[in-house]
Structure formats: structure tokens, C-alpha cells
Amino acid sequence: MAARTRWAFQTYRYAVDGVCVLLAIGLAITLHLPLTVREGTVLSFLLLSGLITLGRR
């Protein structure tokens, strides 16, 4: 998909990860469920896309 558009893979990856994290937080708050987004989730959100992009070069 990144090859067909002007946005890079990293941008798509951050967008999808961000939506998933926000959805998990929103559902946990709305439905009074335990919050499953912890430090590992946030770290992988911040670091994984950049590392994958570096690895692809």
C-alpha cells in the first residue's frame, strides 16, 4: 500500500497501531474493563515502526 501512495510504510504502521491502542483504551474506560495497554504496548508502538523501517533499508 505504501508503494501506491505518497505515505511511507512507517506512517501507516503508526496510524494503525495508534488506532488500536486508542480503541483498547477507549473500550476499557467505556466498558469498565481492565486496562490492557501497558508499558510494553506503548514501547512497541513508539519503537517498532521505526525499527522495521530501518531493517527494510
> What ranges do the domains of the chain cover?
9-56
With cut-offs at 50, 70 and 90, classify the pLDDT of residue 15.
very high
Give tens-digit pLDDT for 17-27: 999 999 999 99
Closest CA to 42 of 10, 9, 12, 20: 20
Residues in the chain: 57
Q: How far apart are CA 48 and CA 53, in angstroms?
A: 9
Mean pLDDT in residue range 24-44: 91
pLDDT reported for residue 54: 82
Examine the pLDDT at 1 and tell me if it is beyond 70: no
What one-character-per-residue DSSP string does 27-55 give? Answer: HHHHTTPPP---HHHHHHHHHHHHHHHHH
